[in-house]
Amino acid sequence: MRTIAYIDGFNLYHRKLKGRRWARWVNVFSLVESCISSNNIISHVNYYTARVSGQFDQKSPRNQKVYLNALNTIPNLFVHFGKFQISDRWIHIVPPLQVKPEPKPPLNAPDVEVVKAYKIEEKGSDVNLASHLLRDGYLDNFEVAVVVSADADLVEPIRIVVEELGKVVVLVSPRDNVPRDLERACSSVKRITNSRLRKSLLPEKLEGEDGVLIVRPDSWCEEELLL
């Protein structure tokens, strides 16, 4: 069955990979294959992300670039970029004010109603994913779509593809508790387990374009695999 995969990179990262450094070196093409039947022939995989900022971690942009270079070695995998946005704004707090670490709450905690905080957003990827999913569905580019995300904003485009176009949409969820409306909209749901991640890692070293060696970042070590 003709299959296209659509991967929300930031949703996958924050819901499953962030706390597992070893898993950040995942071959997303292999991960998708591990979640579907051998009858599915994947024509290509769309990976949606944005170039991260080094404002809070100077290594992040470099590590991401290494990973994207590694993904570029995978045939029929296409990366689509949104925008990474950091802004500061006043937000309401939930009283009483909680801080980490928690030595003692600030003396003025009961009187504080708003605080200024950084808001980190990734713009465009969910819209791009939904748009491409609908476009490919209407153009009959697939019989099965695999969506890797747990974003409930995708309920309506998935519903349209399933109910109005008669296609199959397999949701591969990075979280165990899938939003109920999202689960109902899909044809079936698979979950990303640690076992699937371990079996889908890229080689530690790869040969990139022009023979350039691509090496997994040291901080993404495999020692956690033993835990």
DSSP string, 42-99: EEEEEEEE-PPP-SS-THHHHHHHHHHHHHTTSTTEEEEE-EEEEEEEEEE--SSP--
**pLDDT given for residue 92 in this prediction:** 72
Distances (CA, A) of 95 to 98, 100, 114: 8, 15, 10
| Domain range summary for the chain, segments of one domain joined by + | 2-82+124-129+139-226, 85-123
**pLDDT given for residue 94 in this prediction:** 73
Per-residue pLDDT of the chain (227 residues; tens, 9 = 90+): 999 999 999 999 999 999 899 999 999 999 999 999 999 999 999 999 998 765 666 788 899 999 999 999 999 999 999 876 555 667 777 766 666 665 555 555 555 577 666 566 666 688 999 999 999 999 999 999 999 999 999 999 999 999 999 999 999 999 999 999 999 999 999 999 999 999 999 999 999 988 899 999 998 976 554 44
The superfamily CATH assigns to domain 2-82+124-129+139-226 is 5'-nuclease (3.40.50.1010)
The answer, as to whether pTM is greater than 0.95, is no
